[in-house]
Chain A
Amino acid sequence: KAGVTQTPRYLIKTRGQQVTLSCSPISGHRSVSWYQQTPGQGLQFLFEYFSETQRNKGNFPGRFSGRQFSNSRSEMNVSTLELGDSALYLCASSLDGRTFYGYTFGSGTRLTVV
């Protein structure tokens, strides 16, 4: 069974640009969550998508957005990149986001903003 796949693994962007990150969940999983990991702020919840709908959202500015497709694959987009957006972005999938069994994470996308 394939795991959670995140692409690309590494990305370098310039301030002011926008970026799109992709996450393919485990087959059959319908919930996809996104987290930002930085040395200063640690791991912070961005948002969760379930059945193509955003179900839960963290405290991030509107520059951070996402979507989910009918095959449960998810993308997150960051517009007008700032230096502080440099981080590891982790995606996690679960069957429905509500069961006890936790989440399976991908290996993340390392975004560097210069």
Chain B
Amino acid sequence: AQTVTQSQPEMSVQEAETVTLSCTYDTSESDYYLFWYKQPPSRQMILVIRQEAYKQQNATENRFSVNFQKAAKSFSLKISDSQLGDAAMYFCAYRSSDTGTASKLTFGTGTRLQVTL
């Protein structure tokens, strides 16, 4: 079974600074998908960024980028120019490409990000 580990329960960053959230995962599969979701106090999980394992190029979405290291099974999220609205819980998630289990997301335990002035 796949597992996702987020070793940083809480992180803090000053507005306009850069912060990196860590995520490692364990899988025996070679093809899979990785996601970062953000959960603000409104409770809705919002997709931040996604990565296909077979693509070596790191995904980027505006101020959000990932450092995907397939061999190390690492998938960290970098937030540049942090804004107050970035404060939330961030979850790393894994999804298999196996059609039998593809619909299931396996989540990490989350990292609470605080943004200070």
Q: A residues bordering B, Cβ < 8 Å?
A: 31, 33, 35, 42-43, 45, 48, 50, 55-56, 58, 88, 90, 92, 94, 97-98, 100-108, 110
**Contact present for B103 and A102 (CB under 8 Å):** no
**Contact present for A105 and B91 (CB under 8 Å):** no
Q: B residues bordering A, Cβ < 8 Å?
A: 33, 35, 37, 42-47, 50, 52, 91, 95, 99-110
> How many angstroms from the CA of A108 to the CA of B43 in the assembled complex?
7
Q: Which residues of A contact B35 (CB under 8 A)?
A: 102
> How many angstroms from the CA of A94 to the CA of B110 in the assembled complex?
22
Q: List 14 A-B contacts (CB under 8 A).
A: A42-B110, A43-B91, A45-B105, A45-B106, A50-B103, A98-B102, A98-B103, A100-B50, A100-B52, A101-B50, A102-B50, A103-B47, A107-B44, A110-B43
**Contact present for B109 and A97 (CB under 8 Å):** no
> How many angstroms from the CA of A56 to the CA of B106 in the assembled complex?
13
Contacts A43-B105, A48-B103 given; 4 further ones with Cβ under 8 A? A42-B109, A48-B104, A50-B103, A56-B101
Q: Which residues of B contact A97 (CB under 8 A)?
A: 102-103
A92/B104 contact (C-beta < 8 A), A42-B109, A101-B50, A102-B50 known: no
Nearest CB of A to B12, in Å: 21
> How many angstroms from the CA of A52 to the CA of B107 in the assembled complex?
25
Q: Which residues of A contact B108 (CB under 8 A)?
A: 42
Q: Which residues of B contact A102 (CB under 8 A)?
A: 33, 35, 47, 50, 95
**Contact present for B103 and A105 (CB under 8 Å):** no
Nearest CB of A to B116, in Å: 24
3 smallest CB-CB distances across A and B, nearest first, come from: A97-B103, A105-B45, A43-B107
Nearest CB of B to A66, in Å: 13
Instruction: Specify which of B95, B104, B110 is in contact with A58 (CB 8 Å cutoff).
Output: B104
